[in-house]
Structure formats: structure tokens, C-alpha cells
Structure 1
Amino acid sequence: MTQKPAASNSDAVLESWIERETLAEAMIPLIGRLYRENNVILSVHGRSLINQSAVTLLKAHRFARHVDGVLLRPEETLPLLQAMTTLRLGPASINLATLNLKYAQEGAGRTREEFLRTELADVVDRQGMDQRAGTDVVLYGFGRIGRLLARILIEHSGGGQGLRLRAIVVRNGGADDLTKRASLLRRDSVHGPFNGTITVDHENNIIQANGTAIQVIYSDSPATIDYTAYGIHDALVVDNTGRWRDEEGLSQHLQSTGVARVLLTAPGKGALKNVVHGINHGTILPEDKIITAASCTTNAITPVLKVLNDKYGIVHGHVETVHSFTNDQNLTDNFHKGDRRGRSAALNMVLTETGAAKAVAKALPELEGKLSGNSIRVPTPNVSMAILNLTLENGTTKEEVNTFLRETSLGSALRKQIDFIDSPEVVSSDFVGSRRAGIVDGLATISTDKHLVLYVWYDNEFGYSCQVVRVMEEMAGVHPRQFPPLETTAEAAAALV
């Protein structure tokens, strides 16, 4: 009798992949059901599992080894998800990897359901008891940041108890305006196609995107709109135009009927609070009617500067940003009121100023007067870099500071803001779509005792937009409970470093 040959390594690898892919495919409806019916947001150490493909779920599982030091296996997480669906959970943000690891370490003698009933006790049997009221959101302006905010808000729409995108306000661009606005939301040269379906209701001036009805309102003035006529009440208006940056100008929004609060997606002037989420979002008070989300660069560097100052102390430093060109520059040489910005953005590196270094002090007062800054605009459409040239009070080494920043990015309270990478092959386009405010490039770090140079990448469009949404959630008070609590994770990270 002829002996059957042993399976080759390639056959075994393929078989293993198919098994894991099958398990991941089984997770997708469970994750979707928990999200839609229970408002449960599942992630793996900050990587969202909502509306993801099987391959993306497996990549998230693979990522977990960088944090926990062990593989996160689909054959373990699938039963955990199945048990969650039986618990009638209320709104929660759950780190699946952390729960799974804790069950492996402490769940002896208990079923997964028994374990979860203890760990998630505060939200068990709370389905349908969400006390959060959905907050109406209006995007005033629909440019680069406005459209990315729309994508994120639509992605996070859930059951409607959080931020609800209700309208955009723009100037009428002509007969095809509605179609063109929808097309710009549907297709993006940098960030790719919209993940879903978009249809246009011309009769009612509505863009429908994945079940979200976005009323398009045409207006030339922020002070004369009756939002209640569209069923919009107590709205949070997000001004993406940058046209008004002080309290007087932005207060015009509050004169429109149906508006409760205003958020500016640019640095504010005067006494307005410039908020960098993760740093000073706790200063937002219910009586604050106008808040600003600072700039993309300020959001990218402030969290990194915060942790460095806490650990090593910063005597002084210079921030040089290498920034992608923006809409305020000319494609070809033409008149521009700003110095140098009249020269072609597509053909030149353009030296210009930045207020980001000084703006850091508005979120981090302990660095007042310690930082200078400048900027070079370069011919790329997105993703920028900040070079932090710092003098420290206490010396360090490249290995030590990189280890500290890596652990901070994985397990601290700033893990949503700071990322870390040490690949020798990454370039700017690899960071398109990053949801972190800034990504430290560890291989580029230079450390000579008290002299430290750090290179921080940042998606100045999408990463910044994610920070803006976090500020919006803070203003609206729609954050779900986090499991495990963020403070616990931060303390664990501190122990590591």
C-alpha cells in the first residue's frame, strides 16, 4: 500500500491561516451586534475592531504581542465574544486583549461568562439603559478636516447615543453643489474611498452615508441659521473654516437658534482654552461655550513633551516641523498675503512660521517660554514630522528613552495620543490614516546625555481629526465606561518603566 506523503510546510501554514481566518469571520457579526445593540466598542490595545475585515482582526490580534508579550489567539477571543453577547451589556469600551489575558491568568475554575460577569459588573444587564443623550453635531465648513470628521463620526454612529452628525453648513457652490459635496466625501485622493455607501437626496438637500442623514445647509453667516427648523437642538458646532479664531468671531455661532457650544479646529486666540486631548481635556467645564482643539502640530508634540518633561525635565528646546502643504498655499506662483506662501507649494520647500511651539504652553503651562519653533512646508499632501531638539535636566540614553516612550505608547493614559515605531523602512506615507496624535520614530532618536533629538511623525489630517473627535466627546459627555479603567492601565505602564 502506498504511504500518503506528509503535508508540506506550505500546506500546514495555509491550513493554519484558513482556520484563523474562519474564526475571525465568526467574530465579525458578534462585534457588530454588540456595537449596534449594546453600544459596546471593542478594541485590541486601542485598535478598533468595529467594521473591520477578518484580515484586519487578525492583524489586531498579532499586534497584541507587542503589549502583552504573548500571542492573542482567535480561538480564545471568539468564546469571550460569544459570552459577552449573553450578558445584555450596557455601553462600554472594552479592550478584548486585556480581558482575555486576565481570564488566562485569573479565571481558573470559572467559565468565561462567570468571569465577565465579575469584570464587567457595572454594565452587565444594562442593555437599553443608556443614560447618555445623543448630541447633535453640525460641521461648519466641509474641507479637509470637515470631511474627515464626518467619516469618523459616521463610523462611530452606533445606536445614536453618542455624537450624531446632523448637518454641514457650506456656501452654495452652484447647481451641482450637493452632488460634488457627496463626491468629495465618497472619494479622497489621500485617504482613499469612503468605507460604505453614499446617496444624495436632492429634494431635501440631504447626503445619506451609512444610515446617517446629513442635512446640507447653505449659509454665508454663522449667526442667522435656525437649526431647530431641521430638528437640530442644543448642537455642538464644529467650525472647520478657521475664519474666526477669537471669542468674538466664534460667538456668532451661538446667536443661531439650536446651538449650545462651539469647537474650533484651529489654534484659538485670546483667552480661549486650547485643548489637547490627553493633556488638558479635564479643564473643559460645562459653562465653557467655546473651546479650541489647537493645531495638528501642537497635538502631535504636546503629549510627547509632557511625558519627557515629567521624567527628565526640559530646560529648553526647539521644534522644527516638516509639514505637508495645505490649502492656504498656491499651486503655482501667485500673490499671497503671507511671506513665501505665494510660491508654488508643489515645487518648493517653503520656510514659514509656526505658533505650535508657543501654543504648547497653553495646554502645558510648565513649558511656558522654554520652546521656540519654525516650519518648512514641503511638496507632500499629508503626513508631517516634528523634530524636537531638547536640552534635558536629567541625562538619558537612546535605549532608555526609547524604551520609556515605547512603553508609554502601549500602556499609559496617553496611549491614544502617542505611538512608537522602530522600523528601518518607514516613510511618511506609511502613517496616512494613523489615529494617534504623534508617532515617535525610535531609530532616529539621538541622545547624548542631556541633549535629546526626537523625530515625531503625524498625520496632520486624520490623526488630528481623531483628537478633535475626542475633544467633542469630552464636551458632550458621551464617553462610554472603559474596561479596564484607563487609570489601571496607566499604573501598570508606570510600573514597567
Structure 2
Amino acid sequence: MRVVINGFGRIGRTILRQILTQPEHRDIEVALINEIAPLETCAYLFKYDSTFGPLPYDVVTEGTGLRVNGKFIPFSSHGALGGADIPAVDVFLECTGKVQSRDIAQRGLDAGAKAVLISGPSEYADKTIVLGANEGSLGDARIISNSSCTTNAIAPLMQVMNTAFGIERAHITTIHCYTSSQPMVDAPRGDLARSRAGAESMVPTTTSAAKEVQKVLPDIGERTSVAAVRVPSLSVSSIDAVLQLSSPIKGSARDTVLEAIKQSNVIGAIDDPCVSRDMRERPDSLILALPEIQTIGNSQLRLFGWYDNEWGFSARMIDMARLLAAQT
């Protein structure tokens, strides 16, 4: 599979790190990375990462690209990558976070890519697809939104739980690490709470997952509310979900839930009393904390799970790219 990565920020760099360090991705060729930041800066930020640590390979600039562990990766620095600038590839990974029109979303296709995969929510995508939730509805769509990291954590869980028990209604709170959308010191933002220093306070706020779950699972989404609290943590987030079930749980809630999530290939589980740091670089969309399962009666269920909002989401980007390449 040949890909272009447009945008070398947190997700673009994490995708490349997984491609280069995970043996199962040796078949992926990165034909081009486009990033407007200086090449020397790209090399430095790829080599030294505050979240995942130093890359275990040499990273050097060479001409118009980087050489990583002996492998050359070409770079370009176009503000609006398109047309002849894009080599022939299977999937165009749009990771800039700046798809502001259908024309921008279309550029990869116009250059000959089989599909475009956007690394976040987008109203300009043909469809929003979350693996483990609604990939069966992909059809012949060629511009796909991979939704958000939180939606990738919530939607597969809701899908398996609805299949197993039925969900009457649900409320989910994501406890999310701070991101670049928040300032490091107090500074004006449209959302006043998000104008406060992100590494200093817990910040109640909204989340795009509230609307995204409705896109991915319309029937379940209309019965689900989602809220968020940003917390002073560098990486790994969590969801705290309370579900009102249609069918009562019979027997051990832990064993029953564990059996249900076995139907998903993107949900993991942990039985140890872990903390967020322990979940870093886990590729699962969600890792259920089994000791945290609680019930009130036999039809109200509380679930708690972790997700590495960068590593897990990037893993799904690669998985989705493979699916798109195989279907187009």
C-alpha cells in the first residue's frame, strides 16, 4: 500500500512512527509527506517526542527528505498540496486538520489517489466511518472521515453493548488530556473555560463526539449524551459511561461484558488496577478497565475505559487506509 501523509503534526508523526516501528506495517510505502514546517524541524520533532520518547532510529535530513534508519522518505512543503505535486498512491492521508472545503478534501482524488482519509471530523467527507461500529456502511465512498479519537473509543463500545443488551439511553463523559486547542497560559478563546491554562486546571467543555456518535450510529446516538473534561495530562484519555440497558444483565456483570466485547477487534480489556500512563502506546480504540464495572440493579451499567488518543487513533487511521485500499 502506498500513501501520502499531508500534515506532519501529532497524528501524521504518530502514523509514520507506527509504520516504521511496527513489523506488520513493513508493506506500507510512504510516497510523500507534505508539511510547511522546515525539514530540520520535522526531523527534530520526529526524533524526539515528549509523549512517546525518542525514536530508536537515526533521523537525518537528506536533500528534500528524511532518512530514517536507512530509509528515505521524500518531503514537500506546499501550502496547498494538489495536482502534479501528489504521486500516485492508494490512500491520501489528510492530517492537517484544515479541510475547510470540499475542494480541499477532493485534492487527493484529483491527483489520482484511490481514496482520501481525513484524520478528524469533517462535514466535507462522503461518510464518517469508525472501525468496529459502522464500517459495513462504507459502500463506494472515497472521501472518508475517521471521526475523532473519542468517537473511536465510544462508538465500538456502544455498538457491541447495544447488540448484546440493547441501550435505552446513555451518558458518557470523556476525561481527555489537554491538546493544542488549549493555551499553556490564560489566553482568549471562544470557549471561555478553554481560554484557561490547559496544564493547570481540569476544564469542563464540549466534545465533537456528541455529534459524531450520531453520525456513526444514528439510532443509538440520538439516545446518548456526551460531555468532556480536559485534564492536565499529556496523553491517554478515558471514558466514563453509564448505560441504561433494555435487557437485564444475568450473572456476573464483569464476565457478561467481557464476553460481549470479544465480538470487537478494536476493544481491549485490562484486569489490573492501572493508571493512564500504563495505557500509552496501546493500539486499541478502547481498553475497558474490568475492575471499574459497576451495576445498579441489573439494567444500569457503568463502564470505564482508557484510550491513547494519539496512538490508538493513528492505528485506526492505518487500519482504515488498508480497508480503503482493498475496496477501491
| TM-score (normalised: structure 2) | 0.92
Q: Structure 2 unaligned runs (5+)?
A: none
Q: 1:477 to 1:235 in 2, by over 3 A?
A: closer
Shift of 1:466: 0.6
Q: Which residue of 2 aligns with 1:179?
A: 40
Tell me which of 180, 185, 194 is aligned to 1:332. 185
Residue among 305, 312, 317 paired with 2:170: 317
Q: Distance in 2 between matches of 1:340 and 1:241?
A: 25
Is the 1:154–1:165 contact (alpha carbons within 8 Å) kept by the matching residues of 2?
no
Change (3 A) 1:463 1:262: same
How far the C-alpha of 1:375 sits from its partner, in A, is 0.5
d(CA) in 2 for partners of 1:270, 1:375 = 25
Aligned pair partner of 1:403 in 255, 279, 299: 255
| Letter in structure 1 aligned against 2:51 | V
Tell me how far 1:258 sits from its aligned partner. Answer: 4.3
**Helix, strand or coil for the counterpart of 1:389?**
strand
Matched, 1:475 2:324: yes
Offset of 1:155 from its aligned partner?
Answer: 3.2
Quote how far apart the aligned CAs of 1:167 are: 1.4
1:213 is matched by which residue type in structure 2? F
Alignment correspondent of 1:244:
99
Contact 2:126/2:141 (<8 A) preserved: no
Q: Give runs of aligned pairs for residues 126-141 of structure 1, distance below 5 A.
A: 135-141=1-7
- CA change 1:157–1:434 in 2 (3 A) is closer
Within the candidate set 269, 275, 280, 1:432 is matched to 280
Aligned to 1:418: 267
Aligned to 1:152: 18
Q: State the TM-score, normalized to the length of structure 1.
A: 0.62
Contact 1:392-1:451 within 8 A present in 2 as well: yes
Give the SS at the match of 1:433: coil
Give CA-to-partner distance per residue, 1:303-323, whole Å, 9 cap, x none.
111111111110011111110
Shift of 1:335: 1.7
Over 4 Å off, 4+ runs: 156-160
Task: For residues 366-425 of structure 1, give each alpha carbon's deviation from its aligned partner in whole angstroms, at most 9, with x where no partner exists.
Answer: 31411111111111011111111111111226x63321333455x53x23x11111213x
* Sequence identity (%): 29
Question: Does the 8 Å CA contact 1:219/1:225 hold for their aligned counterparts?
Answer: no
Residues 215-294 of structure 1 aligned to structure 2 (within 5 Å): 215-223=74-82, 225-227=84-86, 232-244=87-99, 247-255=102-110, 257-269=111-123, 272-285=126-139, 287-294=140-147
List runs of 5+ in structure 1 lacking aligned partners: 1-134, 479-497
Cross-structure match for 2:194: 341
Cα-to-partner distance string for 1:128-182 (whole Å, 9 max, x where unaligned): xxxxxxx32111111111100001122357796x4311211111x4xxx222211
Tell me whether 1:167 sits opposite 2:19 in the alignment: no
Alignment check: 8 A CA contact 1:331 1:346 kept: yes
8 Å Cα contact 2:65/2:73 also seen in 1: yes
Structure 2 partner of 1:30: none
**Corresponding position: 1:386 with 2:247:** no
Q: Call closer, same or farther: CA 1:185–1:320 in 2, change over 3 Å.
A: same
- Name the aligned partner's letter for residue 275 of structure 2: V
Q: Which has the higher helix share?
A: 1
Query: What is the CA deviation profile of residues 10-29 of structure 1, one whole-angstrom value per residue up to 9, with x for unaligned ones?
Result: xxxxxxxxxxxxxxxxxxxx
SS at match of 2:60: strand
Deviation per CA, 1:316-360, whole angstroms, max 9, x where unpaired? 111111100001110001122333221100111111111213322
Show the counterpart of 1:300: 153
Report the Cα offset of residue 289 of structure 1. 2.3
The answer to whether the Cα contact below 8 Å between 1:358 and 1:369 also exists between their aligned partners in 2 is: no
Report the aligned-residue RMSD. 2.2
Aligned CA distance change for structure 1 residues 317 and 245 (closer, same or farther; 3 Å): farther
Q: Structure 2 CA distance, aligned partners of 1:401 and 1:378?
A: 29
Q: Deviations over 1:437-494 (max 9, x none)?
A: 001111111111211111111100101111111101101119xxxxxxxxxxxxxxxx
For residues 222 and 307 of structure 1, the distance between their equivalents in structure 2, rounded to whole angstroms, comes to 39
What count of residue pairs does the alignment treat as equivalent? 326
